[in-house]
């Protein structure tokens, strides 16, 4: 299923933007992966310079969902690399949004998933298993709840309390 254009979603759902049911993430994310546009129900994880929980989630069946990783905006290491990108593709994840960095960009760009991240860093993360899965995130002033819906394309990223149509 193709993701609807975010501009069209905003236009068709102006009342939901006004009341906060549809939120726009700050335009700070770079585009990676083969899927330039993607959408799906959100799974959340909050970590800091440690990607063990990211791997644990990507090892599960994605079923077209989107993993939102709050790495607290750290740019000191990567939370996602080529191996995890391939794992996400193989397990049916639609996309990954990283409030942090990725690495192995050429490998990720060959994966049939959508990825958004703040940038790149070749340094791998810690492997201590610290963090929290399935929690409410706050990225750039926007609250993101597990089970909400994410829509991403070249214009930006939207988060909705419910599945939207144009």
Residue 82 labeled ligand binder = yes
Q: What is the C-alpha to C-alpha distance for residues 54 and 65, in angstroms, rounded to an integer?
A: 14
Q: What is the C-alpha to C-alpha distance for residues 42 and 39, in angstroms, rounded to an integer?
A: 9
Q: What is the C-alpha to C-alpha distance for residues 61 and 55, in angstroms, rounded to an integer?
A: 12
Residue 83 labeled ligand binder = yes
Residue 114 labeled ligand binder = no
Element (H, E) at 86: helix 82-90
**CA distances to 10, 17, 46, 97, 162 from 20, in Å:** 12, 5, 23, 20, 12
Q: Using an 8 Å Cβ cutoff, are 50 and 129 in contact? A: yes
Residue 92 labeled ligand binder = no
Residue 85 labeled ligand binder = no
Residue 57 labeled ligand binder = no
Q: Annotated binding site for Mg(2+): which residue ranges?
A: 104
Q: Annotated binding site: which residue ranges?
A: 81-84, 103-104
Q: Annotated binding site for substrate: which residue ranges?
A: 81-84, 103
């Amino acid at each position: 299923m193709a993701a609807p254009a975010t501009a069209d979603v905003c236009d068709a759902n102006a009342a939901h933007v006004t009341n906060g049911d549809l939120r726009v993430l700050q335009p700070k994310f770079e585009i990676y992966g083969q899927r330039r546009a993607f959408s799906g129900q959100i799974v959340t994880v909050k970590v800091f310079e440690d990607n063990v929980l990211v791997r644990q989630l990507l090892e599960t069946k994605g079923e077209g969902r989107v993993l939102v990783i709050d790495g607290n905006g750290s740019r000191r290491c990567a939370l996602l690399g080529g191996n995890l990108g391939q794992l996400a593709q193989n397990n049916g994840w639609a996309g990954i949004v990283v409030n942090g960095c990725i690495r192995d960009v050429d490998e990720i760009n060959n994966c049939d998933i959508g990825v958004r991240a703040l940038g790149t860093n070749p340094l791998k993360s810690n492997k201590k298993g610290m963090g929290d899965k399935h929690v409410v995130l706050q990225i750039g002033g926007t609250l993101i709840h597990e089970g909400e819906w994410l829509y991403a394309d070249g214009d930006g990223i939207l988060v909705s309390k419910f599945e939207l149509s144009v």
